[in-house]
Chains A and B, each alone.
Chain A
């Protein structure tokens, strides 16, 4: 955290130093964008560029009592919401890169361990695409980005109690959607 604060000070002193922040966060942010939205990688990179430019313009507004990662994830979250509102509806598909991730999200469903991970990932992807954006995002932040409740609260700008409720509801919604989709056919 201190290191990030130092990077911010350096970037404010000389824009060339901003490259270090971009290099540090471009990959995690791109993964986050792809995980929570239905955009292509190219669209994600464009969005990422906007996010970094916006963050640069607002560097003086960075609250040092927050984690820099929470601050920049918040900007990313707001940009995704804004982009999402502008876009016309299209069939949604979210990106899940690892089978491990699918395993985490599918764990309440008691899916046998020997289940084909590829099928499981496909199944989780389909279910995530079905649930609402707010539930999908909170699941991604909690289980894929491994953020704690305080960080999620800072990113989504919601009270911690609401975040805990949201995570609980999101898991429940995911589970219901999975059962409705008859997950046995994927096993």
Chain B
């Protein structure tokens, strides 16, 4: 091929071919990095919200939840967050693979890097008061689904109703959804410290039916799962961050 270089130079000249400008490649390379970082941040936000939901879940009744533990997890873990994490993670994977050196990390290692980065992002998010405000907004506009009917099954150990009377700190009278009035023994029941039992309060009870319209409670819970994100966050951050870098002013004392 004695003339290959001549042929190529002639073609470069005749077709006025020139090297693409450096800035085009710089924009492309930085653009891919920016997209990758954004995807990781997004995955971190979704993961942070998923962790927040898990932290807010009523783990104390995990095994006693109507329908069992699987049902408990299904009602706690939002499909939206899961799909978001997977989609943002997949995008981050694709973008990182497209970076100049992205091919040097294997698929497993790259997935690991994305997961750790998202986790760090998600936990950093939890250490701020942002998720609390976000959850407040979310609960206000998209309230979590609460299936009160599932709690109206005394034979299976679940009762839901409004307190109409309290006797000697051991018996509650509950007006249930079907209109019947239940006598609930709660002397030995576990009650969250933030729940104040008072007339007019709607509560859930877990325990056993001991006679017609008589129920012995093992747990008395508020109408809806509590959304005390700040309290949970404070406890979590104390465990995760020695010395607690949390801003205590933003956390209400409960």
Contact = CB atoms under 8 A, between A and B. Distances in A.
Interface of A: 12, 15-16, 18-19, 22-23, 26-27, 30, 45, 48-49, 52-53, 56-61, 63, 153, 157-162
Contacts of A49: 4, 7-8, 11
A59 B1 contact: no
Contacts of A19: 5-6, 8-9
> A-side binding surface: helix, strand, loop or mixed?
helix
A18 B103 contact: no
A45 B7 CA distance: 11
Interface in B1-56: 1, 4-9, 11-13, 17-22, 24-25
B25 A153 contact: no
Interface of B: 1, 4-9, 11-13, 17-22, 24-25, 100, 103-106, 109
Nearest to B15: A53
Return the 9 tightest CB-CB contacts between A and B, nearest first.
A157-B103, A19-B5, A22-B5, A60-B22, A159-B106, A61-B25, A59-B19, A52-B8, A26-B4
Contacts of B22: 60
28 contacts: A12-B19, A16-B9, A18-B5, A18-B9, A19-B5, A19-B6, A22-B4, A22-B5, A45-B1, A48-B4, A49-B8, A49-B11, A53-B12, A53-B17, A56-B8, A56-B12, A56-B19, A57-B18, A57-B19, A57-B20, A60-B22, A60-B24, A61-B20, A63-B100, A153-B104, A158-B103, A159-B106, A162-B106
B104 A60 contact: no
Contacts of B100: 63
B20 A30 contact: no
Contact of B8 (A53, A61, A158): A53
A26 B103 contact: no
A128 to B, nearest CB: 24
Given A19-B5, A58-B19, A161-B106, 5 more contacts: A26-B1, A30-B1, A49-B7, A53-B12, A60-B24
A92 B22 CA distance: 40
A60 B21 CA distance: 7
Contacts of B8: 18-19, 22, 49, 52-53, 56
Contacts of A45: 1, 4
Contacts of A48: 1, 4
A57 B15 CA distance: 12
A88 B104 CA distance: 32
Contact of B12 (A12, A18, A153, A157): A18
A15 B9 contact: yes
A159 B9 contact: no
A52 B6 CA distance: 12
A19 B20 CA distance: 18
A42 B9 CA distance: 19
Contacts of A22: 4-5, 8
A15 B12 contact: yes
Contacts of B25: 58, 60-61
B104 to A, nearest CB: 6
B103 A153 contact: yes
Contacts of B7: 49
Contacts of A15: 9, 12-13, 18
Given A15-B13, A53-B12, A159 B19 contact: no
Contacts of A158: 103
B187 to A, nearest CB: 63
A56 B104 contact: no
Contacts of B104: 153, 159-160
